[in-house]
Protein backbone atom coordinates (compact mmCIF):
# COMPACT_ATOMS: atom_id res chain seq x y z
CA UNK A 1 0.00 0.00 0.00
CA UNK A 2 1.48 3.38 -0.89
CA UNK A 3 1.04 5.67 2.06
CA UNK A 4 0.24 9.11 0.82
CA UNK A 5 0.21 12.34 2.73
CA UNK A 6 -2.41 14.50 1.06
CA UNK A 7 -0.89 17.74 2.25
CA UNK A 8 2.46 17.04 0.69
CA UNK A 9 0.64 15.98 -2.47
CA UNK A 10 -1.24 19.25 -2.60
CA UNK A 11 1.94 21.23 -2.29
CA UNK A 12 3.94 19.41 -4.92
CA UNK A 13 1.16 19.48 -7.50
CA UNK A 14 1.82 21.96 -10.23
CA UNK A 15 -0.37 24.95 -9.67
CA UNK A 16 -1.46 25.13 -13.30
CA UNK A 17 -2.89 21.62 -13.17
CA UNK A 18 -6.51 21.03 -12.19
CA UNK A 19 -7.12 18.46 -9.44
CA UNK A 20 -9.77 16.81 -11.55
CA UNK A 21 -10.23 17.19 -15.26
CA UNK A 22 -13.39 15.72 -16.74
CA UNK A 23 -13.95 15.34 -20.46
CA UNK A 24 -16.88 14.04 -22.52
CA UNK A 25 -18.31 12.03 -19.66
CA UNK A 26 -21.37 10.11 -20.85
CA UNK A 27 -23.56 7.47 -19.28
CA UNK A 28 -26.98 6.77 -20.72
CA UNK A 29 -29.67 4.32 -19.68
CA UNK A 30 -32.20 2.75 -22.02
CA UNK A 31 -34.91 5.09 -20.79
CA UNK A 32 -32.87 8.07 -22.03
CA UNK A 33 -31.81 9.12 -18.55
CA UNK A 34 -28.21 9.63 -17.58
CA UNK A 35 -25.67 12.29 -18.40
CA UNK A 36 -24.15 13.24 -21.73
CA UNK A 37 -20.87 14.80 -22.74
CA UNK A 38 -20.04 16.54 -19.47
CA UNK A 39 -16.68 18.34 -19.27
CA UNK A 40 -15.22 20.56 -16.56
CA UNK A 41 -12.11 21.18 -14.47
CA UNK A 42 -11.99 21.28 -10.70
CA UNK A 43 -9.12 23.20 -9.12
CA UNK A 44 -7.48 22.47 -5.76
CA UNK A 45 -9.49 23.98 -2.93
CA UNK A 46 -12.49 24.65 -5.13
CA UNK A 47 -16.09 23.75 -4.30
CA UNK A 48 -18.22 22.90 -7.30
CA UNK A 49 -22.00 22.66 -6.97
CA UNK A 50 -24.07 20.60 -9.39
CA UNK A 51 -27.75 21.49 -9.29
CA UNK A 52 -30.81 20.25 -11.12
CA UNK A 53 -34.11 18.56 -10.50
CA UNK A 54 -34.36 14.85 -9.82
CA UNK A 55 -33.84 13.03 -13.10
CA UNK A 56 -31.53 15.73 -14.43
CA UNK A 57 -28.61 13.27 -14.40
CA UNK A 58 -26.68 14.92 -11.59
CA UNK A 59 -26.56 11.78 -9.43
CA UNK A 60 -25.47 9.66 -12.40
CA UNK A 61 -22.74 12.19 -13.05
CA UNK A 62 -21.57 12.09 -9.44
CA UNK A 63 -21.58 8.27 -9.52
CA UNK A 64 -19.41 8.30 -12.66
CA UNK A 65 -17.01 10.83 -11.15
CA UNK A 66 -16.62 8.87 -7.94
CA UNK A 67 -16.09 5.56 -9.75
CA UNK A 68 -19.33 3.96 -8.55
CA UNK A 69 -20.81 3.87 -12.06
CA UNK A 70 -18.83 2.94 -15.14
CA UNK A 71 -19.39 5.62 -17.81
CA UNK A 72 -20.03 4.71 -21.46
CA UNK A 73 -17.48 7.25 -22.62
CA UNK A 74 -15.24 10.04 -21.37
CA UNK A 75 -12.41 10.49 -18.91
CA UNK A 76 -11.98 11.59 -15.32
CA UNK A 77 -8.35 12.59 -14.92
CA UNK A 78 -7.09 13.01 -11.37
CA UNK A 79 -3.88 14.67 -10.32
CA UNK A 80 -2.17 12.01 -8.23
CA UNK A 81 1.08 13.51 -6.89
CA UNK A 82 1.59 15.48 -10.07
CA UNK A 83 0.74 12.50 -12.28
CA UNK A 84 -2.41 12.75 -14.36
CA UNK A 85 -4.29 9.46 -13.93
CA UNK A 86 -7.50 8.59 -15.76
CA UNK A 87 -9.64 6.99 -13.08
CA UNK A 88 -12.08 5.54 -15.60
CA UNK A 89 -9.50 3.29 -17.24
CA UNK A 90 -7.61 2.71 -13.99
CA UNK A 91 -7.53 -0.84 -12.56
CA UNK A 92 -10.13 -1.54 -9.88
CA UNK A 93 -7.61 -2.01 -7.03
CA UNK A 94 -6.03 1.38 -7.84
CA UNK A 95 -9.42 3.05 -7.95
CA UNK A 96 -10.45 1.49 -4.64
CA UNK A 97 -7.16 2.62 -3.10
CA UNK A 98 -7.82 6.11 -4.36
CA UNK A 99 -11.23 6.10 -2.76
CA UNK A 100 -9.71 4.99 0.54
CA UNK A 101 -7.01 7.65 0.60
CA UNK A 102 -7.47 10.63 -1.72
CA UNK A 103 -11.21 10.64 -2.20
CA UNK A 104 -14.24 10.27 -0.06
CA UNK A 105 -17.98 10.14 -0.57
CA UNK A 106 -20.63 11.61 1.71
CA UNK A 107 -23.99 9.94 1.13
CA UNK A 108 -27.35 11.64 1.44
CA UNK A 109 -28.55 8.96 3.83
CA UNK A 110 -26.05 8.43 6.65
CA UNK A 111 -27.14 4.78 6.78
CA UNK A 112 -25.47 4.29 3.40
CA UNK A 113 -22.22 5.81 4.59
CA UNK A 114 -22.02 4.45 8.14
CA UNK A 115 -21.88 1.02 9.68
CA UNK A 116 -24.93 1.18 11.86
CA UNK A 117 -23.87 -1.80 13.99
CA UNK A 118 -20.43 -0.40 14.76
CA UNK A 119 -19.67 2.22 17.42
CA UNK A 120 -19.01 5.85 16.48
CA UNK A 121 -15.32 5.34 17.27
CA UNK A 122 -15.17 2.24 15.08
CA UNK A 123 -16.87 4.10 12.26
CA UNK A 124 -14.35 6.90 12.36
CA UNK A 125 -11.45 4.50 12.92
CA UNK A 126 -12.25 2.22 9.99
CA UNK A 127 -10.61 4.38 7.35
CA UNK A 128 -7.53 4.76 9.53
CA UNK A 129 -7.29 1.01 9.98
CA UNK A 130 -7.90 0.47 6.28
CA UNK A 131 -4.74 2.41 5.53
CA UNK A 132 -2.70 0.61 8.16
CA UNK A 133 -3.23 2.27 11.55
CA UNK A 134 -2.54 -0.41 14.18
CA UNK A 135 -2.34 1.46 17.46
CA UNK A 136 -5.61 1.25 19.31
CA UNK A 137 -4.84 4.19 21.60
CA UNK A 138 -3.84 6.44 18.71
CA UNK A 139 -6.88 5.45 16.66
CA UNK A 140 -9.12 6.22 19.60
CA UNK A 141 -7.46 9.54 20.20
CA UNK A 142 -7.87 10.57 16.58
CA UNK A 143 -11.49 9.41 16.61
CA UNK A 144 -12.19 11.39 19.77
CA UNK A 145 -10.61 14.44 18.24
CA UNK A 146 -12.73 14.12 15.11
CA UNK A 147 -15.95 13.58 17.04
CA UNK A 148 -15.28 16.86 18.78
CA UNK A 149 -14.54 18.58 15.49
CA UNK A 150 -17.97 17.58 14.21
CA UNK A 151 -19.56 18.57 17.52
CA UNK A 152 -20.29 15.12 18.88
CA UNK A 153 -19.51 14.73 22.59
CA UNK A 154 -16.44 12.54 23.16
CA UNK A 155 -18.33 10.35 25.61
CA UNK A 156 -20.55 9.11 22.77
CA UNK A 157 -17.55 7.36 21.18
CA UNK A 158 -18.73 3.87 22.11
CA UNK A 159 -22.38 4.43 21.16
CA UNK A 160 -23.71 3.10 17.91
CA UNK A 161 -25.06 5.52 15.30
CA UNK A 162 -28.53 4.04 15.76
CA UNK A 163 -28.74 5.96 19.00
CA UNK A 164 -27.91 9.25 17.24
CA UNK A 165 -30.24 11.85 15.74
CA UNK A 166 -30.26 12.35 11.96
CA UNK A 167 -28.04 15.42 12.18
CA UNK A 168 -25.56 13.65 14.43
CA UNK A 169 -25.45 10.67 12.11
CA UNK A 170 -24.65 12.96 9.21
CA UNK A 171 -21.90 14.70 11.17
CA UNK A 172 -20.50 11.31 12.14
CA UNK A 173 -20.45 10.33 8.48
CA UNK A 174 -18.49 13.46 7.71
CA UNK A 175 -15.96 12.72 10.45
CA UNK A 176 -15.59 9.16 9.18
CA UNK A 177 -14.93 10.49 5.69
CA UNK A 178 -12.50 13.24 6.56
CA UNK A 179 -10.41 11.50 9.21
CA UNK A 180 -7.74 10.34 6.74
CA UNK A 181 -7.35 13.80 5.24
CA UNK A 182 -8.65 13.26 1.70
CA UNK A 183 -8.20 15.91 -0.97
CA UNK A 184 -11.43 15.47 -2.87
CA UNK A 185 -14.87 15.03 -1.35
CA UNK A 186 -17.99 13.98 -3.23
CA UNK A 187 -21.23 14.91 -1.55
CA UNK A 188 -24.66 13.70 -2.58
CA UNK A 189 -27.39 15.92 -1.07
CA UNK A 190 -25.63 15.98 2.31
CA UNK A 191 -28.39 18.02 3.93
CA UNK A 192 -31.31 16.14 2.38
CA UNK A 193 -33.84 14.81 4.85
CA UNK A 194 -32.71 17.08 7.71
CA UNK A 195 -34.72 19.79 9.47
CA UNK A 196 -33.95 23.33 8.39
CA UNK A 197 -32.25 24.30 11.67
CA UNK A 198 -30.18 21.12 11.62
CA UNK A 199 -29.28 21.83 8.00
CA UNK A 200 -27.97 25.27 8.85
CA UNK A 201 -25.71 23.90 11.58
CA UNK A 202 -24.38 21.19 9.27
CA UNK A 203 -23.69 23.64 6.46
CA UNK A 204 -21.83 25.89 8.83
CA UNK A 205 -19.71 22.97 9.98
CA UNK A 206 -19.02 21.85 6.42
CA UNK A 207 -17.98 25.32 5.37
CA UNK A 208 -15.51 25.52 8.22
CA UNK A 209 -14.00 22.10 7.49
CA UNK A 210 -13.68 22.79 3.77
CA UNK A 211 -11.84 26.01 4.51
CA UNK A 212 -9.60 24.63 7.26
CA UNK A 213 -8.59 21.53 5.34
CA UNK A 214 -8.41 23.17 1.93
CA UNK A 215 -10.70 20.51 0.51
CA UNK A 216 -11.88 20.29 -3.05
CA UNK A 217 -15.55 19.38 -3.14
CA UNK A 218 -18.11 18.32 -5.71
CA UNK A 219 -21.54 18.64 -4.20
CA UNK A 220 -24.76 17.52 -5.83
CA UNK A 221 -27.99 19.02 -4.59
CA UNK A 222 -31.37 20.32 -5.65
CA UNK A 223 -31.19 22.89 -2.86
CA UNK A 224 -29.89 26.23 -4.14
CA UNK A 225 -29.48 27.56 -0.60
CA UNK A 226 -26.86 24.87 0.00
CA UNK A 227 -24.77 25.80 -3.00
CA UNK A 228 -25.10 29.51 -2.35
CA UNK A 229 -23.47 28.93 1.01
CA UNK A 230 -20.83 26.39 -0.01
CA UNK A 231 -20.04 26.44 -3.70
CA UNK A 232 -17.56 28.67 -5.53
CA UNK A 233 -18.79 27.56 -8.88
CA UNK A 234 -22.02 26.08 -10.17
CA UNK A 235 -23.14 23.73 -12.95
CA UNK A 236 -26.83 23.53 -13.80
CA UNK A 237 -28.03 20.24 -15.30
CA UNK A 238 -31.15 19.38 -17.23
CA UNK A 239 -31.94 16.19 -19.15
CA UNK A 240 -28.43 14.88 -18.63
CA UNK A 241 -26.66 17.95 -20.00
CA UNK A 242 -24.92 20.92 -18.45
CA UNK A 243 -26.98 23.90 -19.60
CA UNK A 244 -25.27 26.66 -17.65
CA UNK A 245 -22.17 27.13 -15.54
CA UNK A 246 -20.27 29.92 -13.88
CA UNK A 247 -19.45 31.49 -10.53
CA UNK A 248 -22.16 30.75 -8.00
CA UNK A 249 -23.27 34.31 -7.36
CA UNK A 250 -23.23 35.06 -11.07
CA UNK A 251 -25.42 32.07 -11.96
CA UNK A 252 -27.85 32.60 -9.11
CA UNK A 253 -28.14 36.38 -9.42
CA UNK A 254 -28.14 36.62 -13.18
CA UNK A 255 -29.27 33.29 -14.64
CA UNK A 256 -29.06 33.09 -18.41
CA UNK A 257 -30.84 29.87 -19.32
CA UNK A 258 -34.62 29.88 -19.04
CA UNK A 259 -34.51 26.70 -16.97
CA UNK A 260 -32.04 28.23 -14.51
CA UNK A 261 -34.26 31.28 -14.21
CA UNK A 262 -37.13 28.97 -13.35
CA UNK A 263 -35.03 27.13 -10.76
CA UNK A 264 -33.91 30.35 -9.14
CA UNK A 265 -37.38 31.89 -9.11
CA UNK A 266 -38.94 28.78 -7.59
CA UNK A 267 -36.45 28.85 -4.75
CA UNK A 268 -37.15 32.48 -4.12
CA UNK A 269 -40.82 31.78 -3.79
CA UNK A 270 -40.22 29.19 -1.09
Partner 1 sequence: MYVATKGGERAIDAAHDWLAEERRGDPAVPELTIAQIREQMRLAVNRVMAEGSLYDPDLAALAIKQARGDLIEAIFLVRAYRTTLPRFGSSHPVETCDMAITRRISATFKDVPGGQVLGPTFDYTHRLLDFKLMADGEAPTAARKPADPEPAPHILALLDRDGLMEPLAHDGATPRDLTREPLELPADRPLRLQALTRGDEGFLLSLAYSTQRGYGRTHAFVGELRIGTCAVEMEIPELGFAVEIGEIELTECETVNQFTGSKTEPPQFTRGYGLVMGQSERKAISMSLVERALRWEELGEENTGAPAQDTEFVLYHSDNIQATGFLEHIKLPHYVDFQSELELIRKLRRAVAPERLEAAE
Partner 2 sequence: MTEHAYNFAYLDEATKQMIRRAILKGLAIPGYQVPFASREMPMPYGWGTGGVQVTAACLTPSDTLKVIDQGADDATNAVSIRKFFERTARVATTTATAEASVIQTRHRIPEERLSEGQILVYQVPIPEPLRFLEPRESETRRMHALEEYGLMHVKLYEDIARHGEIATSYAYPVKVEERYVMDPSPIPKFDNPKLSGMAAIQLFGAGREQRIYALPPYTEVVSLDFEDHPFEPMKADHDCDLCGAGESYLDELITDDAGGRMFVCSDTDFCAARRAGGHRGRLVPEGDAA
Residue numbers at the binding site for partner 2 (CB under 8 A): 1, 92-93, 96-97, 100, 115, 118-119, 121-122, 125-127, 129-131, 134-137, 139-140, 157-158
DSSP structure string for 69-110: S--SEEEEEEEETTEEEETTTS-HHHHHHHHHHTEEEE-SSH
- For the chain, what's the residue count? 270
- The partner in contact with residue 92, picked from partner 2, partner 1, none with C-beta cut-offs of 5 to 8 angstroms by kind, is partner 2
CB of 124 to partner 2, least distance (A): 10
CB of 34 to partner 1, least distance (A): 10
User: Is residue 30 at the binding interface for partner 1, with CB under 8 A as the rule?
Assistant: yes
* Residue 105 burial by Cβ neighbours in a 10 Å radius (0-12, 13-18, 19+): buried
Q: For partner 1, which stretch binds (CB under 8 A), given 29-37, 106-114, 144-152, 176-184? A: 29-37
Q: Which of 49, 52, 17 is nearest to 34 (CA)?
A: 52
CB of 202 to partner 1, least distance (A): 29
CB of 31 to partner 2, least distance (A): 27
Rank residues 6 and 63 by Cβ distance to partner 1 and give the closer one.
Answer: 63
Rank residues 8 and 136 by Cβ distance to partner 1 and give the closer one.
Answer: 136
List of residues 6+ apart from 163 with CB closer than 8 A: none
CB of 177 to partner 1, least distance (A): 26
CA dihedral 253, 258, 260, 264 (to 10 degrees): 60
* Pairwise CA distance, residues 159 & 145, whole Å: 16
- The partner in contact with residue 14, picked from partner 2, partner 1, none with C-beta cut-offs of 5 to 8 angstroms by kind, is none
* Pairwise CA distance, residues 225 & 227, whole Å: 6
The residues facing 103 across adjacent strands are 184
Count of CA atoms in the C-beta half-sphere (13 A) of 11? 4
- The partner in contact with residue 127, picked from partner 2, partner 1, none with C-beta cut-offs of 5 to 8 angstroms by kind, is partner 2
DSSP 8-state class, residue 56: S
- The partner in contact with residue 30, picked from partner 2, partner 1, none with C-beta cut-offs of 5 to 8 angstroms by kind, is partner 1
Rank residues 31 and 269 by Cβ distance to partner 1 and give the closer one.
Answer: 31
Rank residues 31 and 54 by Cβ distance to partner 1 and give the closer one.
Answer: 31
154-to-80, 82, 147 alpha-carbon distances in Å: 34, 38, 6
CB of 92 to partner 2, least distance (A): 7
- The partner in contact with residue 31, picked from partner 2, partner 1, none with C-beta cut-offs of 5 to 8 angstroms by kind, is partner 1
Q: Point out which residues bind partner 1 (CB under 8 A).
A: 29-31
Amino acid sequence: MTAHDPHIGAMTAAIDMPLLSVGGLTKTYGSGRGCANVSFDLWPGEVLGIVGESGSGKSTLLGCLAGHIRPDAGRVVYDLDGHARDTVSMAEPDRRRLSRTEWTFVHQNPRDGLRMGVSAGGNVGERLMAVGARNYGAIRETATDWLERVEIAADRIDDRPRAFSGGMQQRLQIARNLVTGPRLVFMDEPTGGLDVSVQARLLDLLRGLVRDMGLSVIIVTHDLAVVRLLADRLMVMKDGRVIEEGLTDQVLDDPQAAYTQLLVSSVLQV
